[in-house]
Amino acid sequence: MNQDEMKQAVAQAALDYIRPKIDDDTVLGIGTGSTANLFIDCLADIRGLLTATVASSEASAERLRNHGIPVYDLNAVDQVDFYIDGADECNAALQLIKGGGAALTREKIVTAVAKEFICIADESKLVHTLGQFPLPVEVIPMARSHVARELVKLGGDPVYRDGVVTDNGNVILDVYNFSIPQPLATEEKINGITGVVTNGLFALKPADVLLLGTPQGVKTLY
């Protein structure tokens, strides 16, 4: 299996995982990115069973609507039962780096509400220590230089993601050369910098389940 086939396999595995648990009251949270897109396309097969979804980006909301799947504002639903999304990196504790698609803040908000976060990723995303993938940080535009200086003090090399404006109207700094042996402490430290909206570490609330695509098939990690 190549990487695309592994992504397809985990998208299908996520559908198989949630399908028996869906009823009329179920609200699905849907992530962003190429793996999440494959999952959205799988959902089209069961659109008749779906009463409500919420999306972590405008792009995913549009893709859902194009399949005829109902999308709601997060404020209009009482709960999110499952959140299904990809990751840029994951470790054995199911802590993640996300935000390669610049949707990290909305992803973190839907994660915070969700009862169960199911991460879907191919095995190239699994690492021993997070940080080989540059850590995305969403920043209020006027604080960009201040936050960059603070990130340098923490040991990273922040790079402005030129030309990218998030769905929330903010900018992204990607932190390179930043090994993260203590994801919980690092997530809290970066969130504490004035001007940071959020950072792409999902350690304080990691995934609950990781469906990992491997050439031998999909592995389920808890």
Residues that bind ligand 5RP (CB under 6 A): 31-35, 85-88, 98-104, 107
- Has 101 been labeled as part of a binding site? yes
CB 154 within 8 A of CB 174: no
Q: Is the Cβ of residue 138 or residue 150 nearer to ligand 5RP in the bound state?
A: 138
What is the smallest separation between the CB atom of 175 and ligand 5RP, expressed in angstroms?
Answer: 15
- Has 21 been labeled as part of a binding site? no
What is the smallest separation between the CB atom of 136 and ligand 5RP, expressed in angstroms?
Answer: 7
Q: What angle do CA 131, 216, 87 make, to 5 degrees?
A: 30
Q: Is the Cβ of residue 2 or residue 194 nearer to ligand 5RP in the bound state?
A: 2
- Has 155 been labeled as part of a binding site? no
Q: Strand pairing of 196-199 and 96-97? A: unpaired
Query: Which 8-state DSSP code applies to residue 222?
Result: -
- Has 169 been labeled as part of a binding site? no
What is the smallest separation between the CB atom of 35 and ligand 5RP, expressed in angstroms?
Answer: 3
CB atoms within 10 A of CB 178: 20
In the residue annotation, 107 being an active-site residue is answered as: yes
Closest CA to 99 of 129, 133, 127, 148: 133
Q: Is the Cβ of residue 18 or residue 110 nearer to ligand 5RP in the bound state?
A: 110
Task: Report how far residue 96's alpha carbon sits from residue 19's, in angstroms, rounded to the nearest whole number.
Answer: 25
What is the smallest separation between the CB atom of 38 and ligand 5RP, expressed in angstroms?
Answer: 8
Q: Is the Cβ of residue 51 or residue 208 nearer to ligand 5RP in the bound state?
A: 208
Q: Strand pairing of 80-85 and 114-122? A: parallel
Contacts of 163 (CB under 8 A, 6+ apart): none
- List, by residue number, the catalytic residues: 107
Binding site: residue ranges?
32-35, 85-88, 98-101, 125
